[in-house]
């Protein structure tokens, strides 16, 4: 998790790559750790919801900009995946040269 406090180095001059905003909350970490250990899916999802709410209530991050990506593809490229995580599973992509 990007807000997990254990990822923040103790030295303020060290870079915090995973938790770049340096958010730390013992309450968030406690609930998040409980979710990691919870085998029951429904209970685990509820714990993640609670952790999310803690971060929202703490205003852990305040986005001041949003990225915008523009992609240009040939018209014959079909099923090219687009998602916010930039994960590309190309197994369904194909070319239709008849277009």
Q: What's the pLDDT at 24?
A: 81
pTM across the whole model? 0.55
For residue 77, give both structure tokens.
């490229």
pLDDT band at 1, cuts 50/70/90? low
* Contacts of 5-9 spanning 24+ positions with Cβ under 8 A: 5/29
Angle between helices 26-37 and 41-57 (to 10 degrees): 170
With cut-offs at 50, 70 and 90, classify the pLDDT of residue 79.
very high
The pLDDT of residue 59 is 85
Rounded average pLDDT over 50-71? 81
Q: Are 6 and 23 in contact (CB under 8 A)?
A: no
């Amino acid at each position: 998790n990007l807000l997990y406090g254990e990822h923040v180095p103790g030295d303020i001059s060290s870079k915090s790559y995973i938790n770049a905003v340096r958010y730390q909350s013992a309450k968030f970490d406690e609930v998040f750790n409980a979710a990691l250990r919870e085998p029951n899916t429904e209970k685990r999802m509820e714990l993640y919801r609670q952790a999310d709410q803690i971060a929202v209530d703490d205003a852990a991050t305040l986005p001041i900009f949003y990225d915008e990506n523009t992609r240009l593809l040939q018209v014959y490229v079909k099923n090219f995946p687009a998602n916010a995580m930039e994960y590309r599973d190309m197994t369904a992509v194909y070319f239709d040269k008849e277009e």
